């Protein structure tokens, strides 16, 4: 897929990236608050306002996303929500639920975008493109008889395309069971307290987070194309052949 690097697409990418990342971290913070840890709440992260999240991680929320778009045509970055490690140690299952809140929120955003796309196709607002050139054009605005589409409809189609695919990637990537990704906390949901304590201690081994991120990134490079093809086939059953 060829990247489409333009101010129009760049604005759409950043809007979706900022919103999706903010929802992810706010979900961590909200679930932690509900389960007894108010650390992120006191830091102002139980909010859909992106400013507190940008203040905490300006490099991952602003600089890297913009640079990655300029050089690759899509955005990567990161954010974080603080939590009390002592609370997590005392409540491993609650810590596991807190970790899962982020990927679940991205899955819901992906499904929400898919629902709006399908509704738009049914209502005639959107149409399946003749060929999907890149992930920003998974769905297209419906053209009129003159071959034109309203600018707001085009921008909406790009926003929904990116929201669908980016949140699918964020959910899948964060579910890799490797530190420091959220998926590494999945075992906490079923381990005994003593086993969870040993597992958590192992996960804090110096250097293991760097190792985990390198391995996850390499593996995801192999998984992402298949995930993309499966997602498009699910959205448009039988329409595209890869």
Q: Which residues are catalytic?
A: 25
CA angle 74, 186, 228 (to 5 degrees): 30
SS3 107: helix
| C-alpha span between 151 and 159 (Å, rounded) | 12
Report yes or no: 20 and 173 within 8 Å, Cβ to Cβ.
no
- Cis amide bond preceding 172, omega within 30: no
On whether the CB atoms of residues 196 and 92 are closer than 8 A, the answer is yes
Distance between CA 235 and CA 160 in Å, rounded? 12
Interhelix angle for 151-174 vs 208-235, to 10°? Answer: 130
Residues 46 and 28 sit within 8 Å (Cβ to Cβ): no
Centroid of chain to Cα 57: 16
């Amino acid at each position: 897929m060829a990247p489409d690097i333009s101010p129009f697409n760049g604005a759409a990418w950043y809007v979706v990236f900022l919103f999706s990342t903010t929802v992810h971290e706010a979900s961590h913070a909200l679930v932690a608050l509900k389960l007894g840890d108010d650390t992120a709440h006191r830091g102002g992260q139980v909010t859909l306002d992106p400013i507190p999240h940008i203040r905490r991680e300006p490099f991952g929320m602003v600089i890297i996303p913009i640079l990655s778009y300029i050089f690759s045509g899509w955005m990567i970055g990161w954010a974080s929500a603080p939590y009390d490690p002592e609370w997590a140690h005392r409540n491993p299952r609650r810590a596991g639920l807190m970790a899962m809140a982020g990927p679940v929120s991205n899955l819901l955003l992906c499904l929400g975008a898919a629902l709006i796309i399908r509704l738009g196709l049914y209502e005639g607002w959107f149409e399946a493109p003749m060929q999907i050139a890149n992930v920003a054009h998974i769905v297209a605005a419906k053209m009129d008889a003159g071959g034109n589409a309203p600018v707001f409809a085009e921008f909406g189609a790009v926003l929904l395309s990116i929201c669908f695919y980016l949140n699918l990637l964020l959910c899948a990537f964060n579910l890799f069971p490797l530190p420091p990704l959220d998926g590494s906390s999945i075992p906490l949901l079923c381990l005994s307290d003593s086993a969870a304590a040993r597992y958590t201690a192992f996960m804090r081994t110096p250097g293991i987070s760097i190792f985990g991120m390198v391995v996850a990134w390499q593996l995801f490079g192999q998984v992402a194309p298949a995930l993309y093809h499966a997602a498009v086939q699910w959205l448009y059953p039988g329409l595209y052949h890869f």
